[in-house]
Amino acid sequence: MRKLFPFLAMMVLLVSMVPAHVLAETPMYYYVKTGDYNPLNLRESPSTDAAILVKIPYGARVELLDFYAGSTWANCTYKGYYGYVMTRYLSYDKPYPKPDPGPKPAPQPSGSLFVGFQPAYYSAIVRPSTPAGFVHMRWAPSKDQPIFQDYYAGQPLQVFYANNTWCQVYDPNTHVFGYMMKEFLTYVGPIGFGEGMVGDAQ
């Protein structure tokens, strides 16, 4: 143990003598994180008027070299390209993947049952007439049609088409389309995503 201590002391001394700029050369990696999931422009110089070298995809990793213009811009490299990006669209942590926009609505069948349906596109929850009750999802908008499944209070659905009485609904958990009476659905909000940040991400 006595022989090991001088060796450790010497190693600590040697590390302390390494110039600070050498220690600072450890690569810094960041990820592209734009509010609207669009790619980020890598430009020739730190200006939105500068030429675009390449568009870096959302979630891609870049190596950051330095900051410019009060940290508004960053000098970085990406797949052999060397340029500048706006730091507001960089994240030290890897962002979540781009969300799945959801399924396309099933085409509306022709026939008298489907008269008056218009695009709706909103999220809703099931609201039975009684708290402990349930609501039928049917294969077509009529009480005479077969029942797919029963839904209880608070279960989420997505509405794609609606008329005055019925809604074409989609269950994101079972990936099934069907029809449910409009009076048993409570509007929650629109389907989709909010507007992204406005800036150099295009």
66 phi and psi angles, rounded to 5 deg: -165, 165
Question: Tens-of-pLDDT digits for all 202 residues of the chain?
Answer: 455 445 445 554 444 554 444 444 678 899 999 888 889 999 999 999 999 999 999 999 999 999 887 789 999 999 999 999 999 899 888 888 877 666 666 665 555 788 889 999 999 999 999 888 999 999 999 999 999 899 999 999 999 999 999 999 999 888 889 999 999 999 999 885 333 333 455 4
User: What pLDDT, on a 0 to 100 scale, did the predictor assign at position 37?
Assistant: 86
User: What pLDDT, on a 0 to 100 scale, did the predictor assign at position 12?
Assistant: 46
The reported pTM is 0.43
Same domain flag for 82 and 123: no
Among residues 187, 192, 172, 179, the alpha carbon closest in space to that of 117 is found at: 179
Same domain flag for 86 and 120: no
Which residue range is the domain that position 181 belongs to?
Answer: 113-190
Same domain flag for 55 and 122: no
Task: Show the tokens assigned to 108.
Answer: 């509306």
In the sheet with 90-91, reading across from the earlier edge strand, the strands are 52-56, 40-43, 81-86, 73-78, 61-68, 28-32, 90-91
CB–CB of 188/123 below 8 Å?
A: yes
Same domain flag for 121 and 151: yes
Structural domain count of the chain: 2
Q: Is residue 197 part of a domain?
A: no
CATH number at residue 174: 2.30.30.40
User: What pLDDT, on a 0 to 100 scale, did the predictor assign at position 115?
Assistant: 84
Q: Any idea what the Cα angle at residue 71 is, between residues 69 and 76, rounded to 5°?
A: 95
Task: Show the tokens assigned to 104.
Answer: 């396309």
Q: Is residue 142 part of a domain?
A: yes
Same domain flag for 84 and 118: no
Q: Which residues lie closer than 8 Å to 1 by C-beta, 6 or more apart?
A: none
Q: Is residue 3 part of a domain?
A: no
Task: Show the tokens assigned to 22.
Answer: 């050498």
Q: Is residue 102 part of a domain?
A: no
